[in-house]
Amino acid sequence: MPGASPLDAPRPRTPPPAPAATPLQSRTFATWTLTSCMLCVLCARDPTQSGIYYATMGSFAIAFGHFVLESFLYETIGKGLIVPFLISTLSFLWMFLGRNYYLA
């Protein structure tokens, strides 16, 4: 077009920025982290208590499920959070394999 300026060309649309975590989401995550930490400490002090042992093992299973859903279903986290994924997976497997030793 004669007289058209390069500034008139359509600009590619960029996706909107990802929403930041709300204060409620931050507090919920902090509460979950502290609860999981408390379970780990209680289990480390006395791993022969089956209720605490299975609750701790369950918390690692819940964390694993959370990371799988967020990674593959919702696609909200990427490869940067592979460390928590590995920790939850390996911790659950370690506890699963060692349960007969500690709970015998």
Q: Is 15 a residue whose pLDDT tops 80?
A: no
Q: How far is CA 71 from CA 63, 82, 99, in A?
A: 12, 10, 29
Place of tokens 């819940």: 62
Single-letter code of the amino acid located at 4:
A
Domain boundaries, the chain: 25-103
Nearest by Cα to 84 from 43, 17, 32: 32
pTM: 0.71
Question: Using an 8 Å Cβ cutoff, are 60 and 88 in contact?
Answer: yes
pLDDT tens per residue, range 16-66: 776 677 788 788 888 888 999 999 999 999 999 999 999 999 999 998 888
What angle in degrees, to the nearest 10, is found between the helix axes of 82-103 and 50-68?
A: 160
Q: In this structure, how many other beta carbons lie within 10 angstroms of the beta carbon of residue 26?
A: 11
Look up residue 9 and give its two tokens.
Answer: 């060309």
Determine the pLDDT at residue 45: 96
